[in-house]
Every structure is written in structure tokens, then in C-alpha cells.
Amino acid sequence: MSTLASGHAADRASSGSSPDPSLGLALAELAGRIGGQVLLPGTGAYTAAATPWNVAVASSPVAVVAVADAADVQAAVRFADAHDLDVVVQATGHGALAHTRPSLLVHTGRLDEITIDPVARRARVGAGVRWQQVLDAAAEHGLGALAGSAPHVGVVGYLTGGGLSPVARTFGYGSDLVTAFDVVTGDGELRRASATENPALFWALRGGKGALGVVTAVEFELLDVARIYGGCLYFDGADAERIVSAWKTWSATLPEQASTSVAVLRLPPLPAVPPPLAGRCTVAVRFAWVGDPSEGERTIDPIRGLAPVVFGGLDVLPFPALGMIHSDPVDPMPVHEQSVLLRELPDTAVRTLLARTGPQADCPQVIVELRLLGGALAREPRQPSAVCHRDAAYSLLTIGIAAPPVVEATARHAGELMAAMEPWSGGIATPNFGATSDPALVARRYDPATLSRLVTLSASYDPRVRMAASHPVRAAAGLVQTRP
């Protein structure tokens, strides 16, 4: 059953809301031959589907195709090609990209397949599935999945950017466990990508985000873990210097069973925020331990004793409760994110960071977070991928509100902080944090050889540059090549 959400596509096109007057008729024709829906501007369904989780990112595609299966994705990509539209792909909009060219938005929310093979310890999920759904389905078989800190993030968007989990040091990047993708590449072909089928495409999709095509389903290994020990200890912001300095020294000694991050928080006084954390500066130490809980408890003990804990705690957690460790925001909001990777964190770097983000600083960010990398993240996966900078030691991320009256101060502060941390970063970054279409920032995610190979593959699988996400990657390669 096909549907055109407004039923007035031709009228809408002739009223000038589309760049091409014949587009409305063509969209009506598209709606008649797909299983999903074509949603048009001016309808509630269009607004609901086009609006990303990060509501600060403007989204005004000429139409949304809410695809029902891979054939719909092919139809949408071919339609975009025939009408000179870019293809934007969105599952949840947590990593929405600003895009100015006329585009068709492929919304994957209806691709909701979840198949768990408990014997092979594998999952196959559709591109519209979020991590919490996988965590819950895997837990029915006593298994875990390498989800990120926010389980309402989409599985495919996360895995195509690497995927940094709260248990990442034990298991590596989420994409390291991927075994196959089904993908409609920018040329409109449905392909399978794995170690043995289209291996170059398989390499590129793990780290290359949506630059080569629209993934319709992904298959990956599950974890033989039903429980972890973990949680978060919150301290008063006044203790920031002591906590962050001690965290730095302590975390450098941790085995791979432990993953941890530290964050300076300025959470707003909203009903969803626990009163001890609301409207003040606090410091959070997040910790996850895969293995004997008592060993995990002993490992975090030195941190627990540093200062009074004002909120939070650690316990044995069922794996689907992974999201409790960071307690990331759930509801859509206007977000400004910026991120770099750090190669090292000497004392001067900690001082530089806290001078701009500590309790005395005029810091507009809601969250400033350092995640410890290393461990399994530093190892190349069995099947090499486009995920770069595995030797980075930390990721630094700022999250602020991208709305008046703080939007400008937030962006300026984040830029100044990242510039101040440049001596310890060398300008490297990871694809999932700080969604951006800025080629200069995209270039930081890859080493030159990887970027060059991504562009070669993009030219082969998306020769007419239909994928919106391929533009900044191609432009980034130009920047790298023209560097002195």
C-alpha cells in the first residue's frame, strides 16, 4: 500500500514549494509505486519525519520518503538522481547535518527488523532500529550489544561512524563487530557488503558514515555479557581540579576491562534533572567494568574516596541499562557539539581544559566530557575499516545549547577550547562526535590515505554525487591534497 501524505503533490509543486514544477507530479507517481510514504511540506507527517532530534539543524527537503523496504530506498535514490536532488538519510536526527542543496530525505524509521541469532551470537537489524531495542532483544538471550552512551541513538548512524561505547575499551569500536551491511549505494544499486562481498565498500561503510549510500540493514556480533558493574559518581564542581587530575592519573593504569570518562556538567534546572545536579556545576566520573563486580568495585574505590559524592553510585547493571552510565538527554533539543581526539593529556592540558570549563570559568557548555580511549579501541579489527586515529588517547566533546541567548557564546567557547587543546590533539577527530558538513572538520576524522580511498570509492559507488554526506568528504580530500 503506497501513500502520498498530503495527496496534493502536483498542486504543491505548482504552488512553488518545489524547485521543479514537474516534481509534484513525479512525487505523486513515486508515492504510487513504493510501499512506504512520500511526505510533503505543509503536513504534520512531513514535519515530524523531517525534524531531527537535534532541532537546531534546519531540515527542509523537497519531500521525505518514509521507506518501507530496500526497494523503496532504491526508488528514492533513483528518483533523486532523475530530479537532481541530493539524498539525505535520517533515522533519528541525533547526528543531523545541515544541508542547503535541494534534497530528498530518506527516513529509515520503518526499517525496524530485529533478528537475534543466539547460537551464532549475531544480530541483524534494520536501519530504523535504535540501540535500546537491540539491547532489550539481545538480553532475552543473555547477550549484550556494543551500544553507545545514549541507547535511543540509531544503530546504523552510530556504527557507520565507528561507535564509541561506555564499554569500548573492552570490545573496541562498535563497527569492529559489524559483519555485513545491506546498502543502496548512491548509484541506486542494492548491494551486500561484508569481508567477502564488496569488501572495499564494507571497509568504507565502517567509518565513512553515509557518504557512499543508504544502509538498509546491518549485521553484527553480540557480546556474551549479561551484566556489567558500573554507573556514575557525581561530585561538586568545586572539586573539579582534584577529581579530573586524579582521574587522569588513575585512568592511565586501568586494564581493558574498564572504560571510563569524566565530565564537567552544568545541567539546567529542569524537572528531568535530579535536584542535586540541577542549576550548578558538577563533575561526573563514569565507569564500566566487564568482569567480576567486586574487582570493579575495588578498581573505582580510589575515585570514590576523593571528595563527597553528591549524587549517583555504582552497581551491577543488567546490560540493557547501559544508558544509565551517562544518562544522556532523551528528548529532542537544539544542540551544539564539537569534538577532538587527544593524543595525550599532560598536566598542562588538564589545567588548560579546567581554566575554560572548571567551576570558576565562564563556560556556556552543558557537558564537557573526556573519554578514555585505548584498550581494544587501539587494535585494528580483523577486517580493516575506515575508522582512523586508533592511537588517540582521549576524546574531548563539548555539548551546549544551540538556541538564543547562548548559541553564539556556546559555539565561540567550543571553538576557543578546541583551539587551546590543539597542542595535544594535532587536529584529529572521530566521525560520530560533532556532526558537521564543514570539509575542514571532516578532514580531521581521517588520515590522508583513508580519505583518498573514501573519495575513490565514493566516485565509484556514487558517481553522480547523490549522497549529501559525500560532498564534505570529497571537499575534505581537496583540502588535504592542497595542503602545503
Ligand X SMILES: Cc1cc2nc3c(=O)[nH]c(=O)nc-3n(C[C@H](O)[C@H](O)[C@H](O)COP(=O)(O)OP(=O)(O)OC[C@H]3O[C@@H](n4cnc5c(N)ncnc54)[C@H](O)[C@@H]3O)c2cc1C
Q: Single out the residue of 328, 363, 386, 399 nearest to residue 152, CA to CA.
A: 328
Stretch that binds ligand X, among 42-50, 210-218, 260-268, 339-347 (CB under 6 A): 210-218
What is the smallest separation between the CB atom of 186 and ligand X, expressed in angstroms?
Answer: 11
Q: Are 265 and 283 in contact (CB under 8 A)?
A: yes
Three-state DSSP at 227 gives strand
Phi, psi values for residue 61, rounded to 5°: -65, 160
The amino acid present at 354, given as its one-letter code, is: L
Q: How far is the CB of 90 from ligand X (least distance, A)?
A: 4
- The binding track of 324-343 with respect to ligand X, each residue x by CB under 6 A or -, is ----xx--------------
231: cell is: 554507573
Interaction between residue 161 and ligand X (CB under 6 A): yes
Q: Which residues contact 271 (CB under 8 A, 6 or more apart)?
A: none
Q: Say which DSSP state 449 is in.
A: H
Among 76, 146, 164, 368, binds ligand X (CB under 6 A): 164
Single-letter amino acid code for the residue at 265? L
**Nearest to 383, CA basis, from 198, 222, 254:** 198
Q: Which grid cell sits at 345?
A: 593529556
Closest-CA residue to 137 (of 120, 119, 116): 116
Q: Is 188 left (phi over 0), alpha (psi -120 to 50) or beta?
A: left
Nearer to ligand X, 210 or 237 (CB): 210
- Out of 9, 103, 116, 158, name the contact with ligand X by CB under 6 A: 158
Given the complex with ligand X, which of 187 and 241 has the nearer CB atom? Answer: 187
Q: From the list 87, 215, 387, 393, which residue makes contact with ligand X (rule: CB under 6 A)? A: 215
Q: Could you tell me which stretch among 42-50, 158-166, 442-450, 451-459 binds ligand X (CB under 6 A)?
A: 158-166
- Of 157 and 375, the one with the shorter C-beta distance to ligand X is 157
Contact track, ligand X, 442-481, x by CB under 6 A: ---------------------------x------------
Say if CB 315 and CB 229 are below 8 A apart. Answer: yes
- Which of 96, 435, 399 minimizes the C-alpha distance to 267? 399
CB of 182 to ligand X, least distance (A): 10
Rg (CA), the chain: 22
- Residue number, 6 or 185, with CB nearest to ligand X: 185
137 versus 442: smaller Cβ distance to ligand X: 442
Select 307 or 407, whichever has its Cβ closest to ligand X: 407
Query: Residue 236 or residue 369: which is nearer to ligand X going by CB?
Result: 369
What character string, x for contact with ligand X (CB under 6 A) and - otherwise, covers 94-113? Answer: xxxx----------x-----
Number of residues near ligand X (by CB under 6 A): 33
Q: Rounded distance, CA 118 to CA 391, Å?
A: 33
* Binding flag, residue 214, ligand X (CB under 6 A): yes
Pick out residues in 416-445 that bind ligand X (CB under 6 A).
432, 435
Site for ligand X in 76-95 (CB under 6 A): 89-95
376 contributes a contact to ligand X by CB under 6 A: no
Provide CB contacts within 8 A for 19, sequence distance 6+: 62, 102
Measured CA to CA, the distance from residue 410 to residue 434 in angstroms comes to 13
By CB under 6 A, the residues from 117 to 156 that bind ligand X are: 127, 148-150, 153-154, 156
Provide the grid cell at 13.
Answer: 509543486
**Which residue lies nearer to ligand X by CB, 12 or 130?**
130
- Amino acid at site 280: R
How many helices (H) and strands (E) are present in the chain, helices listed first? 16, 17
- Report if residue 225 touches ligand X, rule: CB under 6 A: no
Out of 188, 210, 237, 358, which residue is the one contacting ligand X (CB under 6 A)? 210
Taking the complex as a whole, the smallest distance from the CB of residue 133 to ligand X amounts, in Å, to 12
Instruction: With H, G, I as helix, E, B as strand and everything else as coil, classify residue 367.
Output: strand
Return the DSSP state at 150. Answer: -
Nearest distance from residue 326's CB to ligand X, in Å?
A: 7
Which residue's Cβ lies closest to ligand X? 157
> Between 256 and 369, whose beta carbon lies closer to ligand X?
369
Residue 105: name the closest of 65, 46, 45 by CA.
Answer: 65
Where does this chain bind ligand X (CB under 6 A)?
Answer: 52, 89-97, 108, 127, 148-150, 153-154, 156-158, 160-161, 163-164, 209-210, 214-215, 328-329, 432, 435, 469
